[in-house]
Amino acid sequence: MILLSTITKEPMPANPVTLIDVAKAAGVSPITVSRALNEPHLVKPATLAKVQEAVKLTGYVKNMLAGGLASSRSKLVALVLPTISTQTFADLVQGATDRLTAAGYQLLLGIVGYETWREEILVETILSRRPDGIILTGSLHTDSTRQRLLQIGTPVVEAWDLTPHPIDMAIGFSHEEVGHMCAQHLLKQGYRRFAILTANDPRAGQRTQGFQVAIAKHGASVIASHVVQAPGALPQGRLGAIKLLDEHPELDAIFCSSDTLAHGVLIEAQSRGLRVPQDLAIMGFGDLNFSEYTNPPLSTVKVDGAKIGALSAQALLDRLAGGGDSAPAERVVNTGFELIQRGST
């Protein structure tokens, strides 16, 4: 995996080792060296071993740019994320990396935060490196980004979200439906006085909107809400809970945009002597690796980030294998989610 922000230009040696130099050192033809480097499964083990040893002795570095120009492939796939500080996005990266690496591709990772204008700038930089495919997070982009990607024709997957009108392909789940299902769950448990604690990122906003709509349909209401800077850390969760509970002590449920924020709410509730879930229900999102080990364990929504990453990578690989122009059977793939009820609701 290549992190875009860390790529630097290194000075090239005055006389770089060539493929011909490797061939001479190994005692084989340049064609054999090329085959050993690009299609090792087609080369006899003894010959492959000689070539590999010659590469080590000469210090030869394969010129991916030259190979890419010859084959019209860079063997790079770009993945644009808002952050890698959360487990869910880290899982997505791992899933995509595993699938791409197995197919001989490298992942070019770009981090843009939650502002679409940052994504626009980075996408232009990424396109200058001629990636074979691009995976974007979500379906909200500037008009310029969308138009640029439509013009360039590079295969694109919008991951982690669903949209009826993708740039190319979309693989993810409905955040509005997540909010809707969480609301139904809390209503079914008998809670009626709700607050929302959310980070200010667009997908969290979609979950919040789905939650509010579902609550209103059942004649209940959201009494209060508090927004924190994305992605939302545990201290922000506790500070948000302090504000909400100080101003609205009658609350009986808090819907959080992440398990991290929910964990902060849980700590504050316990510091006040509130019983969870009898006095206050707490609902998270993400099913992070600590969520089932809090006391009580957090109710949450599980999303398979690794699966989304792997499916996104495979969709690009399938498109590339088909020559780049053949559309996949499904342009929009709903990976779904799972509401997990634990002790906090």
What pLDDT is recorded for position 330? 72
What pLDDT is recorded for position 332? 92
What pLDDT is recorded for position 262? 97
Segments of the chain with pLDDT less than 50: 5-14, 69, 324-326, 328-329
Q: Write the secondary structure of the chain as one string of H (helix), E (strand) and C (coil).
A: CEEHHHCCCCCCCCCCCCHHHHHHHHCCCHHHHHHHHHCHHHCCHHHHHHHHHHHHHHCCCCCHHHHHHHHCCCCEEEEEECCCCCHHHHHHHHHHHHHHHHCCCEEEEEECCCCHHHHHHHHHHHHHCCCCEEEEECCCCCHHHHHHHHHHCCCEEEECCCCCCCCCEEEECCHHHHHHHHHHHHHHCCCCEEEEEEECCHHHHHHHHHHHHHHHHCCCEEEEEEEECCCCCHHHHHHHHHHHHHHCCCCCEEEECCHHHHHHHHHHHHHCCCCCCCCCEEECCCCCCCHHHCCCCCEEEECCHHHHHHHHHHHHHHHHHCCCCCCCCCCEEECCCEEECCCCC
What pLDDT is recorded for position 231? 87
What pLDDT is recorded for position 18? 85
Task: Express each pLDDT in 164-213 by its tens digit.
Answer: 899 999 999 999 999 999 999 999 999 999 999 999 999 999 999 999 99
